[in-house]
Amino acid sequence: MAALSQKHIQLALALPPRLRTFLARYPPAAILPTAPGAGASAETPKTAYQEETPNPFQPLKHPATGKWHDPKYSLRRQAEIVKIAREHGVEELLPFTVKGTEERLRKRVELGLRVKGTGVGEQVKGHKHERQLVSKMEKKRKAMLEMPDLIREWKKVGKRNWTKFPK
């Protein structure tokens, strides 16, 4: 047991100071020790930071005034912490954030590239020649497929009678 806890301590010390400080202020329940004999339903003790804001990445509504307070960590700082945690393989220990990898992937799947015209059934406005390109190419392809029959007809009718050939 002591060797296992020493191993976890060594792993924690290997983390960068910024991430180590964050995890010390907002430790996830997964790494906190439970009190012996308390059972599975016992609540883990919370730090003063956690009592003030349970999730530092989310805005908080003040219970008395009803006003919203900004998150403790800005979106830029959230992204930096998530990036550091991902590099060190501890991202799943962080609280929920919109900057997390899973949330970003979920949004990418839900919203697509967010470039006009890339969605299903969407079209980019573009110039007139760009908009008509598909139909023009389809006409050319159809004409090329019908070309052998047209050549046979030309050879039957001849050059001089071509103007009389019905279109």
Determine the residue type at 22.
Answer: F
What is the Cα–Cα distance from 89 to 28, expressed in whole angstroms? 15
Give tens-digit pLDDT for 45-94. 888 999 899 999 999 999 999 999 999 999 999 999 999 999 999 999 99
Which of 11, 8, 22 shows the shortest CA–CA distance to 84? 22
Domain positions in the chain are 2-32+46-111
Q: Point out the least confidently predicted range of 33-37, 43-47, 135-139, 146-150.
A: 33-37
Question: What pLDDT does residue 145 have?
Answer: 97
pLDDT exceeds 70 at position 9: yes
- The string of DSSP codes covering 126-138 is --HHHHTHHHHHH
Helices (H) and strands (E) in the chain, counts: 7, 2
Determine contact, residues 81/94, Cβ cutoff 8 Å: yes
Q: Is the pTM of this model over 0.85?
A: no
Looking at the chain, the whole-number percentage of residues with pLDDT higher than 70 is 85
